[in-house]
Amino acid sequence: MSAILPGESTECPICTMPDPLEAADGFECATCGHEWLAELSDGLDNIRDANGTLLANGDSVTIIKDLKLDGKTGGVKAGTKIKSIRLVEGDHEVDGKVNGRALLVRAAFVKKA
């Protein structure tokens, strides 16, 4: 589930009308009158690498362990650098590209470069 941050476009959870009115601590739907609180965090603000360093979108990381890729020959070798990562929800938090191929990696298998 993605976070609803003040200033972003969202939908009413009841009637699904877009662009609700912003209140001091959340949102209010102009159509049905439903009020709900804004979630202030998306859970991606506390993802740490293998050394305990906080990761952020746009960081560069290095793979610390050889990884196999879905039964294909090769894989990703330790020491491979992934530039401009994107943090995502789930058990594989780091999204990036290696040799032109999209890759999701657990944060425990990378260190900040």
Query: Residue 102: CB partners within 8 Å, gap ≥ 6?
Result: 95, 96
Domain CATH code at residue 89 = 2.30.30.40
Query: Residue 50: CB partners within 8 Å, gap ≥ 6?
Result: 64, 107, 108, 109, 110, 111
Residues 108 and 67 in one domain: yes
Q: What is the pTM of this model?
A: 0.61
Residue 10 sits in which domain range? Answer: 1-42
Domains: count for the chain: 2
Question: Within a domain: residue 104?
Answer: yes
Residues 69 and 108 in one domain: yes
Question: Within a domain: residue 54?
Answer: no
User: Tens digits of per-residue pLDDT, 31-69?
Assistant: 888 888 876 556 677 889 999 999 999 999 999 999 888
Question: Within a domain: residue 108?
Answer: yes
Residues 36 and 67 in one domain: no
Question: Within a domain: residue 20?
Answer: yes
User: Tens digits of per-residue pLDDT, 65-88?
Assistant: 998 887 666 788 999 999 999 998
Question: Within a domain: residue 55?
Answer: no
